[in-house]
Every structure is written in structure tokens, then in C-alpha cells.
Amino acid sequence: MSRHRCFRCSILAGNARTWCDAIKTELSLDSDEPPERVAQLIKRAEATCFTLAALSNPAPEALEVTVNGQPFDPERASST
């Protein structure tokens, strides 16, 4: 995966952000199988990869936080 880096960003300062500008999957195999079988394996692996599925077909996301065993809302806590 390629990514940008922001060297002036800080988690403590609250200005750190993460982004991705491209995704590249590299696969290296050693196999005595015929090319047709190797191709079939690669296609099946790609079709059943949860990461690729999530990136290709974004699903709703949610963050549930607990602190000391209790539900915690970071937005509400940071506004006080």
C-alpha cells in the first residue's frame, strides 16, 4: 500500500490524519501447478479477501468504545 506521510502532524496536537492514495497487492508464488490452477487460486483468493471487499464496497462503519468497562463517547468527553 502506498501512503503519504505528514511529518508536521501530531496526535497530541490533534492534527494527525491518515489517508491512502493507492492500494497495490503483490503476490509471489512458487508452484508446480499448471497456470490454469494458479490463476484459479488467485481469482478465488481475491474474490474472498475481506480487506479488498471492504475497500471495493465500503460498508457503514461504527466505533464503539468502552473505558473501564463502561461505554465512552469521545466526542462528548472532548467537548467538556
Please write the tens of the pLDDT for every residue from 2-28: 455 555 677 888 888 777 777 788 889
pLDDT band at 1 (very low <50, low <70, confident <90, very high): very low
Residue 20's DSSP bridge partners are: 3
CA 10 vs CA 6, 13, 16, 19, 36: distances in Å: 9, 5, 5, 15, 49
pTM: 0.52
Q: What are phi and psi of 62, to 5 degrees?
A: -145, 145
Please write the tens of the pLDDT for every residue from 35-76: 999 999 999 999 998 888 888 888 888 899 999 999 999 888
Identify whether the C-beta of residue 72 lies closer than 8 Å to the C-beta of residue 65: yes
Identify whether the C-beta of residue 45 lies closer than 8 Å to the C-beta of residue 25: no
